[in-house]
Each structure stands twice: as structure tokens, then as C-alpha cells.
Structure 1
Amino acid sequence: MLERIRIVLIGTSHPGNIGATARAMHNMGLADLALVAPRGESRSAEAISRASGADKILHHAPVYDDLESAVADCRLVVGASARSRTLPWPMLTPRALGERLPAELAEADARVALVFGREDTGLTNAELQRCHAHVHIPTNPDYSSLNLAAAVQVLAYECRLAWLAHQPTDATPEADPAPAMPRDAEAEAAKAAASAEHEAVFGIAWDHPPASHADLERFFDHLERTLIALEFHDPDKPRQLMARLRRLYMRARPDQMEINILRGILSATEKKTATRDPGES
């Protein structure tokens, strides 16, 4: 589970913070670090020094130009936010985030991204609107400033607690080991376990996996183009329309089939609009 949790740092300015983040991750068993447009050198001597032996994470950390590229293959994206926003968004505590992870990562190809912003300004509203939910660390309101690596450490710790809670316990150490399962049976058992976990959380077994972040972004681009063509959305006077629609669909967590259906509806709408007589009302 831990190997499929990605820590994403956006616009980090101080190399030491990148190194300290790698150390915090390694302490808790996380290894997937992604950097978006860093303003500091991620493999400088200071970064390596602050990593304190976790520099392997630094050397393997890819650098991206934007958030969308860094989380394209993730099914759940959670942004760390220290401030309240004009447009409310689903908010999690670190503990609630950790408790949610086993179900989110039940399938072998599922990935989760935890996104952290710049040391001075955090995440922009546009970046936060690309997240399914926000996570807020309940610090002392009289002194809420939290170092970037310390924030990563708190969330990484909750991730590890959730992972430890789902490790099998050796209740009968003297019992004979169970015979090895055939590969096909093992795969079926894993699939059944994933389905059972999903059912325990959502109350029903689901038939398709959640849409990836890349699928959602393509849908939002398609939706905006269609709404502009219909003259329902004026990009010069947005009035938070796309932000509210993002919040709606992010909260709904559509699966891959649902996204395909929605995009099919948009394509049919575009086709109908393009062939409509200009005199029609």
C-alpha cells in the first residue's frame, strides 16, 4: 500500500526542504516523490545532506511542469491546505485520510497523491480545485505555521498507521503454514478482498474502478468546451461555474464507465449543436 502513495511537492524553493521531505517519507516507508516546477535544486549537496540517507528517493524523483502531469495516473488526489477558501471543498483530517487509504488502494493499480504547495504561499486555488479533497492539520491557531517536511511527516505517519492496522497478525505462530495458493486463485482472492473492502466502506461492491485524474481532467476540458459552445459558460465572466462543477464531480467520484458516458453525452451535444440550423431557437 505505502509504495502506491505519492508525495507531490509544488514549487518548493528551498533544497533542504526537499531533502527533509525525502527523509520524512523514508522514515514512514514511503518512496514515491514527485516534484512540480521546483524553485530549488532537488539534488544539491544541501538536499542530500538533509535527506540523511534517503537521497535515493531524491535521485528517483521525477520533475514535472504541472500538477496534472504529476498525478495523471492517480485515482485520489488530496491537497494539503492551511487556509479556509472562498469556495468550500470536502475537508479531511489527517486521521480520516489515513483511515480512507486501505479502501482507496485496495486494487493493485490504484494510486493516491498527497499534494503540498510552496513554502510561502501554499497551493493556489486552481491547484486545490484539481484535488478530490483537502486535508488540514489542526495546528495551534495561535501559531499555525508548519514546516513543509513536518507537514509531510504528519501525513506520512498517518499513512503508516493505516498500513500497520491492515497487516496480518500472527495469532497462531506454531500452526503449520497454509499451502501456497495457485497464482490464479491468489489473484481471485485479492480481487475478492478488494471488493469486500470497497463494500465495507461504500456499502456496495462496485463494478468499475474510479476514474483517474487524467480522465477527469480530459472530462473537465471537454465539459468547458461544450458549455462555451452552448453559450452557457462565458470564460470572461466565469462566476465560479467551472470551480463548482469541479467540486460536484470530484465529490461524486465518478468511475471510468461513468466518465465515458458523460463524455459521450458531451460529444453528442457538440454534434447536435454543430448541425443545428442557425435559425433554430
Structure 2
Amino acid sequence: MSAFALSVILVSPKTPGNIGSAARAMKNMGAAELRIVAPRCNVLDSEALAFSVHAEDLIRSAPIFDTLEEALADLDFAMGTTARQHHDLPEQIFPSEARPLLKAFQKVGIVFGREESGLTTEELARCQAIIRIPTSDYASLNLAQAVLLCCYELLQADRSSGAAPVVTEEAPEIAPREQMERFYTQLEEFILKVQYTDHPRVKHKMRQFRKIFDQARMNEDQIRMLRGLWAQALWAAKTKKFVVED
């Protein structure tokens, strides 16, 4: 048995100091890897390295991605963070409530958005859980504070009470996010071609479908079955091979 590995993904961080402080918070709590998406500053700026203190290795080894989709591609499960309500996304949960969900996974990511605006709805839709840190009416947290709190709850909170850390026993072979995104691309094309919805409403419908299929935690064989079904349905419609019975 082995504990899950937690990657912290920062989307478009604006200041080097925030990157360094976030890396330090990760190191304090034992997070495995830092990933950065479309940074708006020099990740290796002297300020970032200085603020990281003894976590400089996390910054120097952090892969840089152009898109969030690329950053999530090889993970089993991703959690997005937000302080705003989104009615067509998964119900928000607290970091402590997310911990039991992680027993089924080995490679887990938690995503933090831009300092001034957070994650977009479309970025949150690519995550399988939505995390909200409980606060008073004033919900604005510094990026490093948010990273520290979430990493503590996900990695260290159980240990302080004497309980064993979260581990995986026989983790199912859940399809990586890269395959799930190809699955969703084909699904979107399918529902448009069969006129289940139209272009103005397709993004909303896809967020609803993501909630359904992400909860199913499908493996690669199950994804292939559904993609084959949709491809066959389109072929049958195109060639008028449908058999309709009363």
C-alpha cells in the first residue's frame, strides 16, 4: 500500500513571490509536485526562489504547461478550488470532506486559480470535485494560505489525530484525464450532430455530462465501449441503418 501523490497546480500565477510561498507551503505539508499553467511571471525569478526557502527544488523541477487540460492529463483525480457558487458544477465540499474520496486514486491534483480572479467555470468543469475553504464572510485568501490549508487537510490532518494517512488499497484502473478529455470531445460532437442540443447551450450540457461521467470513474475499456457506441450510432444514422420497431 502507498499514499496517494498530491500535485498542486497553479493556473496563471501573477507574482513570483506567490509561487515561492506556495511551494514552501507544499513542502511543509508533503505535497509531491508543483505544476504551473501559463504563468504571468518568471517562475525562476529570485523572489520566487527566496520566498520558497527550502522548497526551491519544487520550483526548479515544476513542469510548465500551456493549458490546464495538459496539466491534468496524467492524473487520476483533480480538485478545483473556488469561493464562488456554480450551479451546474459538482457540489462544493470542504477540503476535509475531500480526503475520503482520495482512497481510490494514486495521482491526485488540486488546482488553484489566478490571484485576482480564481478559476473560470470552464477550468472548474475539468475537475472532478470542487473545493471551498470554509471562511467567514470575508472569503479572500492569499494563494499560499489556500495551498497550505488544503495540503494540510488532504495530507496531514489525519496524522495529528493518530489515524493512519490516506492510502490506496487496490486502486481501480481509472482512465487518465487525457482519455476522459478525448471522450468528452467526442461526446460533444455526438450530441451536436444528433441535435440533442445546439451550440449556444452545448457548454452547459457538457458540464452536466461531466458531472455524470466523472462520478462513474470509468476505466479505459468502458470509455472505448461508449465511444464505439456513439460512433456506431452516427454511422447508422448516416447510412439509414436504424431499425425502428413499435
**SS of residue paired to 2:195:** coil
Report the equivalent of 1:230: 194
**What do the CA deviations read for 1:92-112 (whole angstroms, capped 9, x no partner)?**
2111122332x133xxxx311
Measure the CA separation in 2 of the matches of 1:135 and 1:209: 24
Measure the CA separation in 1 of the matches of 2:21 and 2:196: 47
Q: Taking every aligned residue pair, what percent have the same amino acid on both sides?
A: 34
Residues 75, 108 of structure 2: 8 Å contact kept? yes
Report the equivalent of 2:17: 16
**What do the CA deviations read for 1:126-157 (whole angstroms, capped 9, x no partner)?**
0011111101100111x211001100000111
Measure the CA separation in 1 of the matches of 2:197 and 2:27: 46
Report the equivalent of 1:133: 129
Residues 25, 153 of structure 1: 8 Å contact kept? yes
Residue type matched to 2:177 in 1?
H
Report the equivalent of 2:120: 124
1:41 aligns with 2:42: yes
Report the equivalent of 2:164: 166
Report the equivalent of 1:78: 79
**What do the CA deviations read for 1:61-81 (whole angstroms, capped 9, x no partner)?**
000010110010111111011
CA gap of 1:100–1:86, structure 2 versus 1, over 3 A, is closer
**What do the CA deviations read for 1:4-60 (whole angstroms, capped 9, x no partner)?**
211000011111100001100011112301000011211101101110121110000
Q: 1:33-112 residue pairs with structure 2 within 5 A?
A: 33-101=34-102, 103-105=103-105, 110-112=106-108
Single out whichever of 240-249 and 119-128 deviates more from structure 2.
240-249
Residues 188, 202 of structure 2: 8 Å contact kept? no
Report the equivalent of 2:169: 194
1:216 aligns with 2:217: no
**SS of residue paired to 1:121:** coil
Q: Which runs of 5+ in 1 are unaligned?
A: 168-189, 199-207
- The Cα of 1:87 is off from its aligned counterpart by 2.0
- The Cα of 1:166 is off from its aligned counterpart by 2.4
Structure with the larger RCO, 1 or 2 (CA within 8 Å, 6+ apart): 2
The Cα RMSD (Å) is 2.3
Residues 99, 162 of structure 1: 8 Å contact kept? no
- The Cα of 1:3 is off from its aligned counterpart by 6.8
Aligned positions, number: 238
Counterpart pick for 2:226 among 262, 269, 275? 262
Counterpart pick for 1:274 among 194, 217, 238? 238
Counterpart pick for 2:149 among 136, 150, 154? 154
Measure the CA separation in 2 of the matches of 1:229 and 1:160: 44
**SS of residue paired to 1:221:** helix
Residues 78, 131 of structure 1: 8 Å contact kept? yes
Residue type matched to 1:85 in 2?
H
Residues 5, 113 of structure 1: 8 Å contact kept? yes
Report the equivalent of 2:214: 250
CA gap of 1:243–1:51, structure 2 versus 1, over 3 A, is same
Measure the CA separation in 1 of the matches of 2:96 and 2:207: 27
Residues 29, 155 of structure 2: 8 Å contact kept? yes
Measure the CA separation in 1 of the matches of 2:156 and 2:206: 36
